[in-house]
Amino acid sequence: MPEVRLALDTASDRLSVAVQVGDGPVAQREIRGARQHAASLLPLAEDALAEIGALPRDIAQVVLADGPGSFTGLRVGAAFAKALTSTGQVTLALTPSLLVRAAGKATGAQRILAMSHAMRGEVFAGVWEFAPGKVTEIVRPRAFTIDALLDLPPAEIVVGEGPDAVWKTLPDVWGARVEQAWPEAKTMLGLLLLSGGTRLVENIEGWEPDYGRPAEAQARWEQEHGRPLPDSPGHPR
């Protein structure tokens, strides 16, 4: 059987799974509701694999959206990906979830800002420039205040989700077109073909997702104690 690729995005409230055999058709499954990710991920993946006549043991590569986004969702996706790649026979490629949103709306050579809700009065945002056969990161995805977002390099298109104030302001400030967009796993399979679209993980066991910032409980602990939480992601002992 040609190579089977499995793509997963668990970074938002929408869980998206897609599989493809070689250059064949893509089978995609989605479900909404962040609290359903852990229970739904395996059944959705198995259902999509069954559509193309494959089994979990046939997977040769996992493509995972590694954040930033929901702490719990990213942990679910990371644990699932690590389990599939634990044999050493399956490779793991990563791409930012915000880039998945941007790539889903890219139609040519253009600069796109993608964003999502980050709570605490902030948004997760990143900027990419698309060109034939490649994509270039202009602004690394991370958390921004609304004011800081307006200081980023202007983009022609703004996609994703965010506060109403942003959607109303950016068209006036940048002259940008704005579109709601959710990450779709099938888009990640296309990013494998673009230079700069994905990156391979060599040390899978030591890898952690890009949460964008500490989880609420960790942030409170660090604020109270004035130092990083020991052994937390991004702050190893």
The token pair at 47 is 């259902």
Provide the pLDDT for residue 82.
Answer: 95
* 61-70 mean pLDDT: 95
Provide the pLDDT for residue 57.
Answer: 92
What are phi and psi for residue 22, nearest 5 degrees?
A: 55, -130
The sign of the dihedral angle between the CA atoms of 49, 52, 53, 54 is: negative
Provide the pLDDT for residue 136.
Answer: 98
| Closest by Cα among 149, 189, 175, 152 to 63 | 189
Place 144 in a pLDDT band, splitting at 50, 70 and 90.
very high
Give yes or no for residue 29 having a pLDDT over 90: yes
| Closest by Cα among 49, 44, 2 to 26 | 49
The answer to whether 5 and 20 have CB atoms below 8 angstroms apart is yes
Place 225 in a pLDDT band, splitting at 50, 70 and 90.
low
Q: Pinpoint the residues of the chain covered by CATH 3.30.420.40.
A: 4-97+183-225, 98-180
Instruction: For the chain, give the mean pLDDT.
Output: 89
98-180 carries CATH number 3.30.420.40: yes
The token pair at 202 is 């060599």
Give yes or no for residue 229 having a pLDDT over 50: no
- Burial zone of 228 (CB within 10 Å; 0-12 exposed, 13-18 middle, 19+ buried): middle
d(CA 141, CA 115): 9
- Name 22's bridge partners: none
Place 214 in a pLDDT band, splitting at 50, 70 and 90.
low
What's the CATH number of domain 4-97+183-225, 3.30.420.40, 3.40.50.2000, 3.20.20.105, 1.10.10.10? Answer: 3.30.420.40
Which pTM does this prediction carry? 0.88
* 160-176 mean pLDDT: 86
